Amino acid sequence: MALTASARIKLLTAVANHLATEEWSIIDLTLSQFRLPTTDSWSGSKDAYVIQMARSADDDTLIGLAEHCGIPIEHGVVQPNVQAAFWKPDQFRLFLSHLATYKKFSSELQQALGEYGIAAFVAHKDINPTAEWQNEIELALSTCDALAALLHPGFHESKWTDQEIGFVMGRAMPVFSVTLGETPYGFIGKTQAFNGIGKTAIALAREIFDALRKNKQTQDRMAEIIVTLFENSSSFDAAKSGMTYLEELTVWKTGFAKRIREAAENNGQIVSAWGVPKRVVALLKKKGEKADKSDDEVPF
């Protein structure tokens, strides 16, 4: 597809705006996967960096990069970014590739994942009956952060599931498989797999959450989710488990300290959770962050 100069400018700008929200490591990983240059000597902004590195990309590469970023394109023109109603804001977006025969289990898993800040797309539930089915599936596949394939017996025979997996792999997004009676095959045989046989949806959701927060491709996005979960702690147990997740973070972003500190000051469940306020102080010290009060006292 040949792009006009105007279309290239719009695509570059849209891609730069999208990638500017990522960490530098993810930006460089994305550019390198599309055979675009990177550099360690850059003092400008992230969006300007992306534009500089991608400005000489050929049209097909630029279009592929835009599609990877979930930017709708038609005939080389950037389309308005459609907000998918089925994704909950500020949650990790996980596409559940499943057989309709096992929709009950998929729905239970979707609900369980929600407790961990993971919005799971389940086609039979999340597609508006008046919407064109295939367009909604493609929108979910184009905007998800990862895919989990629920390998029930007969999964490989489906006309749709392999296409869903291939779509997400083509975007270079993570794909996980859950063995539920069928063995991982083909490309998904090389991806991280979970043994789901005999496990409840609640137990499996916890395993998926743990994998996402530790996976190199998803830990950056999950760090944001974990901070939000801590902020919204609705019980003492939630505050304690949320604190443990914070202590295990391998990604630390500007603004995390302020959000965690304010949560520990204003959320009564965190304030009253035994030992959690002191653990917050210790975590901030470890990260080189300053507390509002003396280091010798709990600032909450």
Q: What is the pLDDT of residue 135?
A: 79
Q: Which pTM value belongs to this model?
A: 0.71
Q: What is the pLDDT of residue 294?
A: 44
**Cα–Cα distance list, 186 to 26, 36, 109, 165, 193 (Å):** 27, 28, 25, 11, 13
Q: What is the pLDDT of residue 293?
A: 47
Strand locations in the chain (E): 73-74, 77-78, 92-97, 118-121, 146-151, 175-179, 193-195
Q: What is the pLDDT of residue 75?
A: 45
DSSP H helices, 215-288, are 219-231, 236-247, 256-266, 268-271, 276-286
CB count within 10 Å of CB 78 equals 17
- Helix or strand or coil: residue 274? coil
Euclidean distance between CA atoms 18 and 12, whole angstroms:
10
| pLDDT tens-digit series, residues 260-286 | 999 999 999 999 999 999 999 999 999
User: β-strands 77-78, 73-74: how paired?
Assistant: antiparallel
Which residue type occupies 17?
Answer: N
Euclidean distance between CA atoms 86 and 136, whole angstroms:
10
Show the tokens assigned to 187: 């490309």
Q: What is the pLDDT of residue 129?
A: 61
Euclidean distance between CA atoms 90 and 21, whole angstroms:
13
Q: What is the pLDDT of residue 1?
A: 57
Q: Which portions of the chain are predicted below pLDDT 50?
A: 75-82, 293-300
Q: What is the pLDDT of residue 241?
A: 97
Domains of the chain: 5-78 (no CATH), 92-214 (3.40.50.10140), 219-286 (no CATH)
Q: What is the pLDDT of residue 291?
A: 57
Show the tokens assigned to 51: 């534009």
**Cα–Cα distance list, 192 to 92, 149, 198, 233 (Å):** 18, 11, 19, 30
CB count within 10 Å of CB 135 equals 11
The residues, any chain, with a CB within 8 Å of residue 153's CB and separated by 6 or more, are 180, 181, 182
